[in-house]
Amino acid sequence: MRLFEQLRERSGGQCELCATTNDLKVYEVPPVSTGGLDGSLLGCETCIGQIESRNLGTVTADANHWRCLNDSMWSEHEAVKVVVWRILSRLKSEGWSQDLLDMMYLEDDTLKWARATGEDEEEAEKIIHRDVNGVVLQNGDSVVLIKDLKVKGSSMVAKQGTALRRISLDRENAEYIEGKVGPTQIVIITKYVKKI
């Protein structure tokens, strides 16, 4: 059974965040190593578009859309809870959002996953990753290598022009990102990549 059908069956054919039944698609919750049923949710185009928006926290007109999270925050599925926690953290300046965030409980592993993208950090605390041209990189972005790189600890060489999809950012060092070259997960220095 395809992932979309599995998620549709799990969610009863509706968005797992706002419960609409229109324009549904699979959303892999970053940073994703395996994706699949446990690392994904079924979301509508509106929710996924706002999740992927870089300026969600400053767009107050969209904040009202997320009042639906008072229901979805109680989901039994970890991927849904992670996304709800991240959205509420982005909107914590809203009084209702902070109230919902205070009511949420996440297991330690789930909370670590939720914090992996730094949604709960203040802007001044965030480490900003930039590619060779100074473009800001985000979790889940796609980049291309700008030169051949020898992979430490192996005989593999990652060739110039190789695309890395759905990168993960190192939360402690602005110079490091992770991505897959073939089946191998590698760490890459940001000055050797360009955002696609």
Considering 75, 91, 115, which residue would you say is the last residue of a domain? Answer: 115
Check residues 52 and 71 and name the one with the higher pLDDT.
Answer: 71
Considering 60, 80, 115, which residue would you say is the last residue of a domain? Answer: 115
Most confident of 19-28, 32-41, 166-175: 19-28
> Are 108 and 59 members of one domain?
yes
| Contact status, residue 188 vs residue 132, Cβ threshold 8 Å | no
> Are 111 and 169 members of one domain?
no
pLDDT digits (tens, 9 = 90+) for 68-78: 999 999 999 99
Expressed as residue numbers, the domain containing 185 is: 129-195
Q: Is 87 exposed, middle or buried (0-12, 13-18, 19+ CB in 10 A)?
A: buried
Specify if 42 maps to a domain.
yes
Q: How confident is the model at residue 82 (pLDDT cuts 50, 70, 90)?
A: very high
Specify if 144 maps to a domain.
yes
Specify if 12 maps to a domain.
yes
| Contact status, residue 88 vs residue 117, Cβ threshold 8 Å | no
pLDDT number for residue 143:
93
> Are 180 and 137 members of one domain?
yes
Specify if 11 maps to a domain.
yes
With vertex at residue 95, the alpha carbon angle to CA 49 and CA 84, rounded to the nearest 5 degrees, is 40
> Are 99 and 175 members of one domain?
no
Specify if 55 maps to a domain.
yes
> Are 95 and 30 members of one domain?
yes
Specify if 41 maps to a domain.
yes
Radius of gyration for the alpha carbons in the chain, expressed in angstroms and rounded: 18
Specify if 62 maps to a domain.
yes
> Are 83 and 107 members of one domain?
yes
Percent of the chain past pLDDT 90, that is, above it, reads 34
Check residues 152 and 88 and name the one with the higher pLDDT.
Answer: 88
> Are 136 and 73 members of one domain?
no
Q: What are phi and psi of 64, to 5 degrees?
A: -65, -30
| Contact status, residue 194 vs residue 143, Cβ threshold 8 Å | yes
* Strand ranges, E, within the chain: 24-28, 40-44, 129-130, 136-137, 143-145, 149-150, 157-158, 163-164, 168-169, 176-181, 184-189, 193-195
Q: What are phi and psi of 166, to 5 degrees?
A: 55, 60
Q: For residue 35, what are its two tokens? A: 């994706």
Q: How confident is the model at residue 58 (pLDDT cuts 50, 70, 90)?
A: very low
Percent of the chain past pLDDT 70, that is, above it, reads 90
> Are 14 and 109 members of one domain?
yes
